[in-house]
Amino acid sequence: MDVLHVDCHSCVARGTACSDCVVTVLLGTSDGVVELDSDEQAALKALAGSGLVPPLRLIPGARRVQDVQSPPDLRDYA
């Protein structure tokens, strides 16, 4: 399954294109992450193609990096 990961925080168009983006229109101002599966993407594409909602305006920038491990406890090296 093809999943589209929409992270509004890393979108280069954030702020300038938010008011005309399907994520904002359907979900309000997004402070988080949205994942759309292939069926949801097809539905949004059909709605946008019919002019019922604006298209996705996502322009991905750099994603935020998240730690996958806790930092080492420096006391272990003393």
| Structure tokens belonging to residue 47 | 């709605």
Residue predicted with more confidence, 30 or 28: 28
Res 49 pLDDT > 60: yes
Q: What is the pLDDT of residue 47?
A: 92
Averaged pLDDT of the chain? 77
Residue whose tokens read 């979108």? 11
Q: What is the pLDDT of residue 23?
A: 83
Q: What is the pLDDT of residue 42?
A: 92
Write the CA distances from 78 to 64, 70, 71, 73, integer angstroms. 32, 18, 15, 10
pTM for the model stands at: 0.62
| Structure tokens belonging to residue 33 | 């992450």
